[in-house]
C-alpha cells in the first residue's frame, strides 16, 4: 500500500499556500503571494492579507490537485497552520481546511507553523530528524530549539529578545530603501560587498551573555548601529553595508547554534525558516559545521520561506507517528508557542 496523501494549507502571513505530499514525497507546492499588495506599506497589512487569502484559496487548491495529478477524493488527511501568525489570515486557512476535512470525512491536523518549517526537511532528507538542534529563523521568530520528536517534543533553548532575524533584514532594507521583503535583496546586494568593511556588533556575545543568555539573540543593537552608520556616512557603499550587516547576523546565529550543539551533545543541526534561504548563512553554516563534525541540514531555498508543503510534511509525519488528529472545532492561535506542535 502506498503512503497516505496529505494536503496542507498555509495562510499565516501573506502566502496562500497549498502543498500535497504522499508520505515523504512532495507531489505539489503551489504558492499565491499577496506581497505586492503590501510592498508600498513596507510590511504586511493584516486585512489585505486575509482578503487576498479568500480570493486565492480555491484556485490554489485546484492548482495543487492538478499538479499532484490527484482528485479531492484521493486525500487521506488535511493539515493546516493553526498558528502562530496573523489571526485573520490564519482563520481563512482554518476555515478552508475544516470545510475540506468535513466534506471529505477525513482527519485534520492543526499544526504549528514553526514546527512545520523544521518538518519540511523530511521531504529532502531521508535520515530521521531527531534528536537535533534546530535554528529557526523567520520574519516573526528566531529561536534555538532542541527537537527530540518533531511531532510532539520540542524544547526551547533560547529566542530573540527583540527583533526576529528576518525582521532585522526587513527593517535595515527599509532604511536603505531596498524594498520589502528585505532579506532576498540584502542577500543579493551583499554578494558584491565586503563583509569585513564595517565591524557591526554581535548581540549577546559578551562573556557575561554567554554565562546568562547563551542561546538568546538580540538584533536591536545591530539595527541601531547600522542606522547610525548610515546617518553618519551619507555616501555609504550599499553593498558593503549589506554584506557587513548580514555577516554580523550570520556570525551570531551560527556561534549560538554550534554552542547549543556542543552543550547538548547533539551533533545535528537543522536550519529552517525564511532566513535559512540566505546564501551566506548556508555557506558559513556548511563550513563551520564541517569543521566541528556537525551534520547540517537546510531545506532547499524554495522550501525555506512560507509554503504549504511544510504543513503537509508535518501532517504526514504526524500520521506516520500515529498521532491523534485535532478536534474539528479548534482555535487558530496567533501566538501559538513553538513547543506546541499541534492543537
Q: Contact residues for Zn ion (CB under 5 A)?
A: 138, 306
| Cβ nearer to ligand KG4, comparing 109 with 169 | 169
β-strands 15-22, 132-137 pairing: unpaired
| Cβ nearer to ligand KG4, comparing 142 with 342 | 142
Q: Which does 181 bind (CB under 5 to 8 A by kind): Zn ion, ligand KG4, none?
A: ligand KG4
| Cβ nearer to Zn ion, comparing 193 with 273 | 273
Q: Which does 170 bind (CB under 5 to 8 A by kind): Zn ion, ligand KG4, none?
A: ligand KG4
β-strands 142-149, 132-137 pairing: antiparallel
Q: Which does 140 bind (CB under 5 to 8 A by kind): Zn ion, ligand KG4, none?
A: ligand KG4
- Taking the C-alpha atoms of residue 61 and residue 171, their distance in angstroms, rounded to an integer, is 33
What angle is formed at CA 51 by the lines to CA 47 and CA 55, rounded to 5 degrees?
165
| Cβ nearer to Zn ion, comparing 75 with 317 | 317
Place of cell 551560527: 254
With both helix axes pointing from N to C terminus, report the angle between 279-292 and 182-190 in degrees, rounded to the nearest 10: 70
- For the CB of residue 243, give the shortest distance to Zn ion in the complex, in Å: 25
Buried b / exposed e along 252-268 (16+ C-beta atoms within 10 A) = bbbbbbbbbbeebebeb
Question: For the CA atoms of the chain, what is the radius of gyration?
Answer: 20
Distance, C-alpha 257 to centroid of its chain: 16
β-strands 15-22, 108-112 pairing: unpaired
- For the CB of residue 114, give the shortest distance to Zn ion in the complex, in Å: 7
Q: Which does 190 bind (CB under 5 to 8 A by kind): ligand KG4, Zn ion, none?
A: none
Supply the DSSP symbol for 289: H
- What are residue 144's DSSP bridge partners? 135, 158
- For the CB of residue 238, give the shortest distance to ligand KG4 in the complex, in Å: 16
Q: Which does 166 bind (CB under 5 to 8 A by kind): Zn ion, ligand KG4, none?
A: ligand KG4
| Cβ nearer to ligand KG4, comparing 107 with 166 | 166
- For the CB of residue 202, give the shortest distance to ligand KG4 in the complex, in Å: 17
3-state secondary structure (DSSP) of residue 261 = helix
- For the CB of residue 277, give the shortest distance to ligand KG4 in the complex, in Å: 4
- Tell me if 249 sits within 8 A of 169, measured CB to CB: yes
Q: Which does 183 bind (CB under 5 to 8 A by kind): ligand KG4, Zn ion, none?
A: ligand KG4
- For the CB of residue 306, give the shortest distance to Zn ion in the complex, in Å: 4
3-state secondary structure (DSSP) of residue 31 = strand
Q: Which does 77 bind (CB under 5 to 8 A by kind): ligand KG4, Zn ion, none?
A: none
Binding site for ligand KG4 (CB under 6 A): 13, 138-140, 166-167, 169-170, 181-184, 187, 273-275, 277-278, 305-306
At residue 109, φ and ψ (nearest 5 deg) are -115, 110
- For the CB of residue 209, give the shortest distance to Zn ion in the complex, in Å: 27
| Cβ nearer to Zn ion, comparing 121 with 240 | 121
| Cβ nearer to ligand KG4, comparing 77 with 138 | 138
| Cβ nearer to Zn ion, comparing 134 with 266 | 134
End-to-end, the C-alpha distance of the chain in Å comes to 29
At residue 121, φ and ψ (nearest 5 deg) are -55, -30
Q: Which does 169 bind (CB under 5 to 8 A by kind): Zn ion, ligand KG4, none?
A: ligand KG4
Q: Which does 132 bind (CB under 5 to 8 A by kind): ligand KG4, Zn ion, none?
A: none
β-strands 77-83, 25-33 pairing: unpaired
| Cβ nearer to ligand KG4, comparing 93 with 325 | 93
Helices (H), 214-320: 220-232, 238-264, 279-292, 309-320
- For the CB of residue 82, give the shortest distance to Zn ion in the complex, in Å: 14
- For the CB of residue 54, give the shortest distance to ligand KG4 in the complex, in Å: 20
Amino acid at each position: 500500500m502506498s503512503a497516505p496523501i496529505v494536503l496542507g494549507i498555509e495562510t499565516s502571513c501573506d502566502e496562500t499556500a497549498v502543498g500535497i505530499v504522499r508520505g515523504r514525497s512532495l507531489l505539489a507546492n503551489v504558492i499565491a503571494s499577496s506581497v505586492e499588495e503590501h510592498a508600498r506599506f513596507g510590511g504586511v497589512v493584516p486585512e489585505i492579507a486575509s482578503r487576498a487569502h479568500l480570493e486565492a484559496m480555491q484556485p490554489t487548491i485546484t492548482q495543487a490537485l492538478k499538479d499532484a495529478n490527484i482528485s479531492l477524493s484521493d486525500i487521506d488527511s488535511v493539515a493546516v497552520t493553526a498558528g502562530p501568525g496573523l489571526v485573520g489570515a490564519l482563520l481563512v486557512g482554518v476555515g478552508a481546511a475544516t470545510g475540506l476535512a468535513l466534506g471529505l470525512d477525513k482527519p485534520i491536523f492543526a499544526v504549528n507553523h514553526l514546527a512545520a518549517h523544521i518538518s519540511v526537511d523530511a521531504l529532502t532528507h531521508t535520515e530521521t530528524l531527531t534528536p537535533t538542534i534546530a535554528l529557526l529563523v523567520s520574519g516573526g521568530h528566531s529561536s534555538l530549539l532542541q527537537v527530540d520528536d518533531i511531532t510532539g517534543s520540542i524544547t526551547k533553548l533560547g529566542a530573540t529578545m527583540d527583533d526576529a532575524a528576518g525582521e532585522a533584514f526587513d527593517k535595515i532594507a527599509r532604511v536603505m530603501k531596498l524594498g520589502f521583503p528585505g532579506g532576498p535583496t540584502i542577500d543579493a546586494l551583499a554578494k558584491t560587498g565586503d563583509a569585513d568593511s564595517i565591524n557591526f556588533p554581535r548581540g549577546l556575545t559578551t562573556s557575561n551573555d554567554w554565562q546568562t543568555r547563551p542561546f538568546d539573540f538580540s538584533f536591536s543593537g545591530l539595527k541601531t548601529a547600522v542606522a547610525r552608520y548610515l546617518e553618519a556616512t551619507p555616501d555609504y557603499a550599499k553593498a558593503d553595508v549589506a554584506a557587513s550587516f548580514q555577516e554580523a547576523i550570520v556570525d551570531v546565529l551560527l556561534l549560538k547554534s554550534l554552542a547549543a550543539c556542543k552543550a547538548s551533545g547533539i551533533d545535528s543541526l537543522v536550519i529552517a525558516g525564511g532566513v535559512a534561504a540566505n546564501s551566506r548563512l548556508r555557506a558559513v553554516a556548511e563550513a563551520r559545521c564541517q569543521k566541528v563534525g556537525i551534520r547540517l541540514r537546510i531545506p532547499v531555498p524554495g522550501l525555506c520561506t512560507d509554503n504549504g508543503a511544510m504543513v503537509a510534511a508535518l501532517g504526514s509525519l504526524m500520521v506516520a507517528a500515529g498521532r491523534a488528529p485535532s478536534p474539528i472545532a479548534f482555535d487558530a492561535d496567533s501566538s501559538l508557542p513553538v513547543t506546541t506542535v499541534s492543537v
